[in-house]
Structure 1
Amino acid sequence: MAGGEVQLVDLVKRFGDFTAVDGINLKVAPGEFFSLLGPSGCGKTTTLRMIAGFERPTEGQVVLDGTDVANVPPHKRHVNTVFQNYALFPHLNVEKNVAFGLRYKETSKGESGTLVGRALELVRLMGYEKRRPNQLSGGQQQRVALARALILNPAVLLLDEPLGALDAKLRKALQIELKAIQEEVGITFIYVTHDQEEALTMSDRLAVMSNGQIEQVGP
């Protein structure tokens, strides 16, 4: 999937009287690893959810590769999301969890198997196909979620604090691995975190958010 440019134009999200995102403007280049950094409640996750299509903007535009997708449902955007809780299906093994990402795409059994194998190789989980989520470590579960998101080769991958539930040592190792995977696949990554060191370790650029606004954008 080529492309991956994201532009937010005068983006606003209100929940009743509360303004979660207050008129932000931002442009993320294709293939960039971009982080939204800020404390809890600053609007970074709400911004990510509007890019994904899980929240509809009150005002403004979400432009993906030149098209405003503010009113387009999530499954029709060339975007996938990895959440902190991984959202794996406990009754499905690793192979079937990863293949679930293909549910909206017509693929033969052979093609599906090839794509699953490629995704698991990318996240270094070959040999784990038949294991269930409860047989995996937290870091391995995170890799399964990443493989499932990458299998469709989206233009943009959104990551909402995916390492937040892991211990510090594992989190540091996976930061390096995640950046290496992003460079290999060449997909635009937009990463939400409250951890400054994490953002600086992985990002090409980052935006600092506070009170629903972008305070600063830089390398």
Structure 2
Amino acid sequence: MPRMPKWMGDAVESLMASKFLTVTVTQVEYLSPEVKRVCFTGDLSRADFDAGYAVTFRVSALDHRDYTPVIFTKDTCEIIFHIHGNGPGSAFADGLQVGDTTKMVIPRGRKLYREGVENFFFGDESSIGTLKAIMQEVPCTGILELDEANFRVPEKLGMQVDVVRKGDNAFAVVKEKAAYVLTGNGESIQSFRKLLKERGVNSSQIITKAYWIPGKKGL
């Protein structure tokens, strides 16, 4: 639900109150000027979570945005936000301060990894939190396509991952039984998926999740 009239957003919060969790910001950290780690606390005990699930915030009177937590326990939720442009999602994330209280929709979605096989990950700034969450569940390697200002973010998070500049030709070593998790920019996902299929990777080995597409709002 990326955008809806204010009255409808108000009605959803009222009629589906059981689906909303009240949380308080307890910690913020800028890992770079564009990447911000935020820790929320609250009673999250009635929600289920797996790496790849998303929560939804009402980021303005009209707009809602989905974010994938790095950590989600019975009382703590940690999210890594990518702040870019002048959109309502970036304004919301940039404005979060310790002590702020907000609501989020309980996690839902699908897990973005496979058990029992090697997982290879491809993404960008919007994917950092997802990759970190997956790395906590299964062995995972991969590539992050980042702006140079954000190159050190994975290192600060203790992530062992290859970092390339946007526009470079990211290369994946094709393995017969690996799962390929492609996230972030929808256009980059399409290009990388095409490359994998040209190298003989079966479609059933590829998991995709677009977080944004250039020129499109509220994906």
Bigger relative contact order (CA 8 A; separation at least 6) = 1
Structure 1 length normalisation: TM-score?
0.29
More strand, by proportion:
2
Structure 2 length normalisation: TM-score?
0.29
More helix, by proportion:
1
